[in-house]
Amino acid sequence: MSDLTSDQVDAITHAWLDLCASKEHFESEEQFTGVGADELATACTDSIEELETAFPFLLRCASIGNPFIGLGGVKDE
């Protein structure tokens, strides 16, 4: 993780949060319907899993309720 700048970590974290929110929207009871909705939901899920595998800090930070806490080892620009 020490090779990432704090801006890079922020960008990864923001992308992950956006994907998580989109996935929740696609899977809500008020089903999002439209062309490609199922494919978008699958893409979100796959991307979330890829980010969580590549950057385990996302899961650790989410488990404490704040995705911006605990990003130790991040190099400042």
For the chain, the DSSP string reads -TTSBHHHHHHHHHHHHHHHHHHHHHTSSS---STTHHHHHHHHHHHHHHHHHH-THHHHHHHTT-TTS--TTPBP-
Residue 50 lies in a domain: yes
C-alpha 24/C-alpha 41 separation (Å) is 9
Q: Packing angle between helix 6-26 and helix 37-54, nearest 10 degrees? A: 140
Range of the domain at 18: 6-63
Cut 0.85: pTM above it: no
Per-residue pLDDT of the chain (77 residues; tens, 9 = 90+): 468 888 888 889 999 988 988 888 777 767 666 667 778 888 889 999 999 898 888 887 666 665 444 444 444 33
Kindly state whether residue 16 falls inside one of the protein's structural domains. Answer: yes
Number of domains observed in the structure of the chain: 1
Q: In this structure, is residue 74 part of a structural domain?
A: no
Q: How confident is the model at residue 47, as a pLDDT? A: 92
pLDDT number for residue 77: 35
pLDDT given for residue 60 in this prediction: 78
